Amino acid sequence: MHTPPHRSIQASPPETLAIFDFRVPGTGCRMRREMYAWKHCASIERLDQHHAVLIVRPGGARELAC
């Protein structure tokens, strides 16, 4: 019996990362605009109290539609 090979990170499309620094005025508004623009293709992860990263995954909306 053969086991399936592990999926390579190179097999998935690259993600785009944008880091936001909330110590800069207006950052929260800019991050919300980007999140709205990317809708279901993006998610936000908090890094610490002052930083968050917006992760854009190509094809994310198509995956939700299936």
CA distance linking residue 48 with residue 13, whole number of Å = 27
Nearest-angstrom CA–CA distance, 44 and 34: 10
Looking at residue 65, its pLDDT comes to 46
Query: Where do the domains of the chain lie?
Result: 13-65
Question: Model-level pTM?
Answer: 0.67
For residue 66, the model assigns a pLDDT of 38
> Strand, coil or helix: what is 7?
coil
10-residue mean pLDDT series, the chain (66 residues)? 60 84 96 90 94 86 46
